[in-house]
Amino acid sequence: MRAKKLNARLLRNLEGSLFILPWLIGFLLFVAAPAAFSLYMSFHNVKVNATGLQMTPNGWDYYRFILLENGSVLYNDLIPFFSQAVVMIPIIIIFSLLIAIMLNQKFAGRTAFRTIFFLPVIFTTGQVVLEFIAQGEGGLDFLARYNVNDMLTSNLPPLISNTIIRIMSSFILILWYSGVQILIFLAARQTISPSVYEAARIDGATPWETFWKITLPGMIPFIFLNIIYTIVDLFTFPTNPIIRRVTSADYGMSSALAWIYFTIILIFLGIILLAFSRITRGLQTGNR
Our count of domains for the chain comes to: 2
Taking 3-state DSSP, the helix, strand and coil percentages for the chain, each rounded to the nearest 5, stand at 80, 5, 20
Inside any domain, residue 266:
no
Structure confidence by residue, pLDDT tens digits, 186-241: 989 888 888 888 888 888 888 888 888 888 888 888 998 899 888 888 877 766 77
The residue among 33, 63, 48 whose CA lies nearest residue 259 is 63
> Are 191 and 232 within 8 A, CB to CB?
no
Average pLDDT over the chain reads: 79
Query: Which sign, positive or negative, has the C-alpha torsion 252, 253, 256, 258?
Result: negative
The residue ranking higher by pLDDT, 89 or 36, is 36
Same domain for 86 and 10: no
Question: What's the pLDDT at 185?
Answer: 92
Q: What is the pLDDT of residues 236-277, one digit of tens each?
A: 776 677 776 665 567 888 888 889 888 888 888 888 888 888
Tell me, yes or no, whether 55 lies in a domain.
no
The mean pLDDT value for 115-131 works out to 70
pLDDT score of 175 more than 80: no
pLDDT of amino acid 25: 93
CATH number of the structural domain spanning residue 86: 1.10.3720.10
Q: What is the DSSP letter of 250?
A: -
pLDDT at 130 over 90: no
135 and 26 co-located in one domain = no
Question: Do 149 and 200 share a domain, yes or no?
Answer: yes
Same domain, 208 and 88: yes
Q: Which domain holds residue 13?
A: 2-41
pLDDT at residue 39, rounded to an integer: 92
Q: How confident is the model at residue 40 (pLDDT cuts 50, 70, 90)?
A: very high
pLDDT at 286 over 60: no
Do 19 and 148 sit in the same domain of this protein?
no
Q: What angle separates helix 75-103 from helix 216-234, to the nearest 10 degrees?
A: 140
Asked whether residue 104 falls in the same domain as residue 219, the answer is: yes
Domain membership of residue 288 (yes or no) is no
Check whether residue 123 and residue 187 sit in a common domain: yes
Note whether residue 69 is domain-resident.
no
Most confident of 43-52, 154-163, 197-206: 197-206
In a domain, residue 261? The reply is no
Share of the chain above pLDDT 90, in %: 7
Same domain? 123 vs 201: yes
Residue pair 226/185 in contact (Cβ under 8 Å)? The answer is yes
pLDDT at 156: 75
> Using one digit for the tens of pLDDT, what is the confidence trace for 5-26?
667 778 887 888 888 899 999 9
